[in-house]
Structure 1
Amino acid sequence: MTTMQQAQAHSLSSSWLAQFDAAFRSSDPNTIAACFLPTGWLRDILVFTWTNRSLEGHAKITSYLTPTLANAGVRDIKPDERAFRRAEYNPQTRIVGAGFTFETAVGPGEGWVQLMADAASASGEWRAITVLMTLVDIRGHEEQGPESGVYGGHTLAWSDIARERREKIERDPHVLIIGAGQTGLNVAARFKQMNIPTLVVEKNDRVGDNWRERYPTLTLHSVKTHSSMLYQPFHENWPIFAPRDKLAQWLEQYPETHDLVIWTRSRPLPTPSFNPTTKRWTVFIDRDGTQVTIYPKHIVIAAGTLGAPHYPVVRDPQLFRGVTLHAAHYHGGAPFTGKRVIVVGAANSAADICQDLVFHHAKSVTMIQRSSTCVVSSAFAQAQMWKIWPGDVPVPIADFKANATPITLQKRWLGAMEAQMWEAEKKTHRGLREAGLKLNMGVDGSGPFPLQFERFGGFWLDVGCAALIREGKVKVKQGVEASHFTEDSLVFTDGEALPADVVIYATSYDSIRDNMRALFSDAVIDRTDVLWGLDAEGELRGCYRESGHPGLWFAAGNFAVSRFYSKQLALEIKAIELGLLAQAS
């Protein structure tokens, strides 16, 4: 961005923010809506209502603000002059982006606006295509920063302070988090800084075991800025794509570093009960063989978006003399050297497993693709993620800007680039169709990234499997389902029988929400919203906002999702505690 472009961006955004502030002072929803393009979006996180909403167009924005504007008390909208929040101009998109701050009835807020020239305006007036407004803190209950590190006038040892704090939480946790994977840890770390006493239970022996149990060649397909933990970015020489075991070690040190209270080898027992009078749960915990009873006000299920391994229905499995297993239980290809292996599935895990099997000299490897898959190179994915989470921008600010554009609008912008994405991936796709693989470019041509929000899968970021398919080292059978087994083969719905010694199901996982029925009962889970996917406004369903059952919450998604939305969840729980938000009954 040139100096002239920066000056123009600052001038345009300052003028628009002054207009936006005046519109709020007018208390007229129509005047506020007029600051947006006719197709503009307002994304609200806890400012006008105690949830997250995305509204497109003047009519919806006006309708949303009419009953909520007065109570929100938005005022004092000003440009945010802090580093990385100042006005900027993108010459490729011709969009001016700028941060701003404001006050609300309950606390400070911050936002990000993206401005575009209004093509319908004779004067070329600049209006908002997106505005994100989010509550930062509840006044008087702000998120804590670092402590001094000196206690009791330099008379108390840290070990004593830490022990007393831990014992107090263990006696009376305000929140119970189920699961100490990256999501549970991010949420717990946020809650600690928000002074919400939290206990985390983890069924595994060690934090990080949820990653150690995956296949050994697993490496994250997201760059390290995208996959870092809250308050603790990876160090400079950390790998761009974190290997499984390094990530597990990083997660294991995280609770100690951040003073989180975690019980490993522990799990809640059926069936937690909620008392609508006291608004507390009664939860029996199996803590490494000892039963402990706790009475939290809130339970956060952070055991992943994906639950138990999903197995397709295939007839006559008892006839098969070979080995069948799910990708969740695949621990490397060495045992399958010289074997005929069928991998059912055609997304990331399937591609990684096929590549590993070829490396370990399986006699044959066949990938079964039921429908179609979005396949892009890891280089493409890396370049796109670096644009959103660049290495020279603090991760929280990158998260904030990434969430300024509603997912629905992101999909439209990406869909407009579909032809360019196909062209960019010609090298990756070369030979795949000839081998029988059916390709897509995501829903509505928007590429692989929206798929993680819509389906949490259905794509693969290629790190070598495409070349193996082109070379014939991995065969593809497309457009069929597995039908039934014989003693030494898997038969498909087209009647073909493929000889096999091993069948591996890379067929995703059930929803953790459904898996929680065994713990909470159908009566409880039926009151909760569907978990994951996008609602009519393009917001994530069922997580980080009220689930439908009082005191029960879901936290889900990848590293970036839990980092950002953990603040929303913390503020909602804090608002209930303070009486600002009426708890569902």
Structure 2
Amino acid sequence: MTLAQKNHIIQLPVTTFDPRSIDPREIAQAWLTSLENALATNSSLSGLFHEESWWRDMVALDWNLRTIQNLPRIQDFIRLRQPHAQLSNFRLQHEGKFQPKLEKVLDSLSWISSMFLFDTRVGRGAGVLRLTRNEDGAWKAYSVYTSLQELKKFPEPLGGRRAEGTIESMPGGLERGNWAERRERQVNFVDEEPTTLIVGAGQAGLNTAARLQSLGVSCLIVDRNERVGDNWRKRYRTLVTHDPAEFTHMAYLPFPKNWPQFTPKDKLGDWFEAYANIMELNVWMKTNIKSATYDDAKSEWAVNLTRHDGSNRTLRPRHIVWCTGHSGEPKIPRFDGQEQFKGTIYHGSQHGDASQHNVKGKKVVVVGSGNSGHDIAQNFYENGADVTMLQRSGTYVITADKGVFMMHEGLHEDHGPPTEQADIISESLPFPVQFALATHFTKRAAAAEKSTLDGLRKAGFELDFGIDGAGIARAYYTNGGGYYIDVGCSQLIIDGKIKLRRSPEGIARFTRDGLVLKDGGSLDADIVVLATGYDNMRTTVRKVLGNKVADRCGDVWNLDGEGELNSIYRPSGHPGFWFMGGNLALCRIYSKFLALQIKGIEAGLVSQNDGSVRARL
């Protein structure tokens, strides 16, 4: 049975040893030296890896995102890719939090972990090793992570490599104009075509553009909204981020230290607008894509755009990065009798604020019990409505004030390690291993949040801790939903201020005054909000660019057979077409790897064919 067929459920190793006899630095150094020797001589890895082990690679060995499980597959992977990648010059991290240490992960599992640095033929990378001891006392790798961080020939202009900024230092000198005059020509692409067209000016598009420009890849962001940040400003009035500030920084530009822990939507929209200006990103707002076709022979797009002034422009980028939102198109179900309903019905994506409907005393049914469903129900209650949440299936609940901060302990938190290092550690374990560890975290969080969870159960709310009890980690990466980060609505349900109705089979039909459930019950309603989720990102591509492009792309999100996310941050299936999305942290982290893949193609380090990226041998 394959990993995917087993729902990526794995068994973690069990370790037993006397920690007093362990020198983590000595053991980690000996292992890393042996790995370097084995790679240099194409030797067997059997003495270095357990049979059940993992290697996760991001663009260092393969110009893709890969997870390889078990020793034979790892050996084949290395044998095929190391001659070209040439990983070498391994160095342990010798300072800070992630130098070699013995780490107690669970009561039954400890490992020696360390960050390390290395070189490749084309770049420099960072990785993480995790070693456990076998029955014979030998320390072997349970998990290794390698990630490309920069390209040797194309260093980013950071720190001591920053641009001088004087007119004399700019190409062409004063004759080509001062900074403002050059920016005017650049943002309108008067003298060149953008190499990359980014569709969407949210966190995905902005992070990706900043990364690409830092690598010297010209890019243009287009968005149909009026202002950068409107993708957040136009969402419901009470929305705030459900992730804390230290987790949600943008690439190169962290939030100020006095930034609120959870960011209100309009404040975040203003930050996005400022970010685009500060990072000198090229953005065309109020711009719509009319059509886009791809020329395989030229590896080039022809994209027809309509701009804010009604003018048309055809651009010929080599890449399109689709950043229109991880959630895709709204899923809006239709029900029998819906047309006779005399009240108001709309999808949660259309919700602005309950006060727009004069809802005091009105009966409101919110269909759905995920994040949006809870937030919308709370918004209606706080505006005086009589609110019922209709729950069809179970939901995982974690609280913002306890569980969320527990999730980020030791990494993305106040007084934590540098964000760049925390990002490396947070992504260094394969998703199946993350899920296995999450089952233990979920139990720990549930113990801390026992009163809330018990209160919800008593109110009739169905809790669902997910497959193997992996909670929010599995729910997010496999379904993109099915959870609620509690910012106050749970207590309203516990207190009966927001009523709950369970209906596993859902809605049968609408009547003039409400809806009938398939279990035979009914609910009166003046307003029904369908917080029923969103479709795959690929559906937006089909809607905007048509079947020819969408049919060559894969579905987005969930895990593939190896345990990596499908079609996002990596080749999509269509050459020159990339998906980018997710929460603010994922967009910051994975924009680096997507930008490196595009730069690798443009620099001639890799070739692109039929949607896959292949190294030039």
Same fold (TM > 0.5): yes
2:130 & 2:199 partners in 1: Cα distance?
Answer: 38
Deviations 1:210-254 (A, max 9, x none): 111111111111111211111111111111111111111111111
- Does structure 2 conserve the Cα–Cα contact (< 8 Å) formed by 1:38 and 1:58? yes
- Whether 2:62 is the aligned partner of 1:38: answer no
How far residue 311 of structure 1 moved from its aligned partner, in angstroms, is 1.1
Question: Which residue of 111, 115, 129 maps to 1:95?
Answer: 111
- Does structure 1 conserve the Cα–Cα contact (< 8 Å) formed by 2:122 and 2:153? no
Matches within 5 A, 1:92-491: 92-93=105-106, 94-118=110-134, 120-121=135-136, 123=137, 125-145=138-158, 146-153=162-169, 156=174, 157-168=178-189, 171-269=192-290, 271-288=291-308, 289-334=310-355, 335=357, 336-362=359-385, 364-378=386-400, 379-391=402-414, 392-478=416-502, 479-491=504-516
| Cα distance, 1:248–1:160 mapped onto 2, change above 3 Å | same
Question: Which residue of 547, 551, 560 maps to 1:535?
Answer: 560
Q: Tell me whether 493-502 or 138-147 shows the greater mean CA deviation.
A: 138-147
Deviations 1:61-92 (A, max 9, x none): 11222222222212221213364543234345
2:565 & 2:190 partners in 1: Cα distance?
Answer: 31
Aligned residue for 1:53?
Answer: 66
1:396 alignment partner, SS class: helix
| Cα distance, 1:445–1:169 mapped onto 2, change above 3 Å | farther
- Does structure 2 conserve the Cα–Cα contact (< 8 Å) formed by 1:230 and 1:563? yes
2:214 & 2:101 partners in 1: Cα distance?
Answer: 31
Aligned residue for 1:20?
Answer: 35
How far residue 578 of structure 1 moved from its aligned partner, in angstroms, is 2.5
How far residue 127 of structure 1 moved from its aligned partner, in angstroms, is 2.2
How far residue 264 of structure 1 moved from its aligned partner, in angstroms, is 0.3
TM-score by length of 2: 0.89
Give the aligned residue type for 1:371: S
Q: Tell me whether 131-140 or 534-543 shows the greater mean CA deviation.
A: 131-140
- Does structure 2 conserve the Cα–Cα contact (< 8 Å) formed by 1:408 and 1:537? no
How far residue 138 of structure 1 moved from its aligned partner, in angstroms, is 2.7
Give the aligned residue type for 1:531: V
2:458 alignment partner, SS class: coil
How far residue 402 of structure 1 moved from its aligned partner, in angstroms, is 0.4
Deviations 1:544-580 (A, max 9, x none): 2111111111112111212111121112112222222
Deviations 1:269-322 (A, max 9, x none): 1x2111122221111111112111111111110111112221122112110110
Give the aligned residue type for 1:17: L
1:17 & 1:390 partners in 2: Cα distance?
Answer: 30
| Cα distance, 1:332–1:237 mapped onto 2, change above 3 Å | same
2:21 & 2:133 partners in 1: Cα distance?
Answer: 16
- Does structure 2 conserve the Cα–Cα contact (< 8 Å) formed by 1:101 and 1:110? yes
1:448 & 1:136 partners in 2: Cα distance?
Answer: 28
After superposition, the CA RMSD in angstroms is 2.0
1:448 alignment partner, SS class: helix
TM-score by length of 1: 0.94
Aligned residue for 2:26?
Answer: 11
1:512 & 1:417 partners in 2: Cα distance?
Answer: 30
How far residue 417 of structure 1 moved from its aligned partner, in angstroms, is 4.6
| Cα distance, 1:108–1:92 mapped onto 2, change above 3 Å | closer
Deviations 1:398-456 (A, max 9, x none): 11110111111010112245543433332111232232211111221012123111111
Give the aligned residue type for 1:97: S
1:290 & 1:404 partners in 2: Cα distance?
Answer: 47
How far residue 57 of structure 1 moved from its aligned partner, in angstroms, is 1.5
How far residue 111 of structure 1 moved from its aligned partner, in angstroms, is 1.1
2:518 & 2:47 partners in 1: Cα distance?
Answer: 57
1:516 & 1:6 partners in 2: Cα distance?
Answer: 57
* Percentage of pairs with the same residue: 33
| Cα distance, 1:237–1:7 mapped onto 2, change above 3 Å | farther
- Does structure 2 conserve the Cα–Cα contact (< 8 Å) formed by 1:310 and 1:508? yes
1:202 & 1:100 partners in 2: Cα distance?
Answer: 40
| Cα distance, 1:243–1:278 mapped onto 2, change above 3 Å | same
How far residue 532 of structure 1 moved from its aligned partner, in angstroms, is 0.8
Aligned residue for 1:561?
Answer: 586
Aligned residue for 1:523?
Answer: 548
- Does structure 2 conserve the Cα–Cα contact (< 8 Å) formed by 1:189 and 1:260? yes
2:67 alignment partner, SS class: strand
- Does structure 1 conserve the Cα–Cα contact (< 8 Å) formed by 2:185 and 2:191? no
Give the aligned residue type for 1:311: I
Aligned residue for 2:595?
Answer: 570
1:389 alignment partner, SS class: coil
- Does structure 1 conserve the Cα–Cα contact (< 8 Å) formed by 2:42 and 2:79? no
Question: Which residue of 593, 604, 615 maps to 1:579?
Answer: 604
- Does structure 2 conserve the Cα–Cα contact (< 8 Å) formed by 1:34 and 1:58? no
1:281 & 1:109 partners in 2: Cα distance?
Answer: 32
- Does structure 2 conserve the Cα–Cα contact (< 8 Å) formed by 1:315 and 1:484? yes
1:253 alignment partner, SS class: helix
Give the aligned residue type for 2:52: T
Q: Tell me whether 182-191 or 91-100 shows the greater mean CA deviation.
A: 91-100
1:6 & 1:351 partners in 2: Cα distance?
Answer: 51
Q: Tell me whether 472-481 or 137-146 shows the greater mean CA deviation.
A: 137-146
Give the aligned residue type for 2:81: T
- Does structure 2 conserve the Cα–Cα contact (< 8 Å) formed by 1:45 and 1:135? yes
- Does structure 1 conserve the Cα–Cα contact (< 8 Å) formed by 2:537 and 2:555? no
- Does structure 1 conserve the Cα–Cα contact (< 8 Å) formed by 2:116 and 2:128? yes
| Cα distance, 1:128–1:267 mapped onto 2, change above 3 Å | same
- Does structure 2 conserve the Cα–Cα contact (< 8 Å) formed by 1:213 and 1:329? no
How far residue 206 of structure 1 moved from its aligned partner, in angstroms, is 0.5
Deviations 1:16-67 (A, max 9, x none): 2112112212212x32x53223322111112222111111221221122222
Give the aligned residue type for 2:296: P
| Cα distance, 1:255–1:424 mapped onto 2, change above 3 Å | same
- Does structure 2 conserve the Cα–Cα contact (< 8 Å) formed by 1:24 and 1:74? yes
Give the aligned residue type for 2:132: M
- Does structure 2 conserve the Cα–Cα contact (< 8 Å) formed by 1:169 and 1:199? no
- Unpaired runs of 5+ residues, structure 2, are 1-18, 611-617
Q: Tell me whether 155-164 or 524-533 shows the greater mean CA deviation.
A: 155-164
2:398 & 2:527 partners in 1: Cα distance?
Answer: 28
2:187 alignment partner, SS class: helix
1:147 alignment partner, SS class: coil
| Cα distance, 1:536–1:388 mapped onto 2, change above 3 Å | farther
| Cα distance, 1:324–1:546 mapped onto 2, change above 3 Å | same
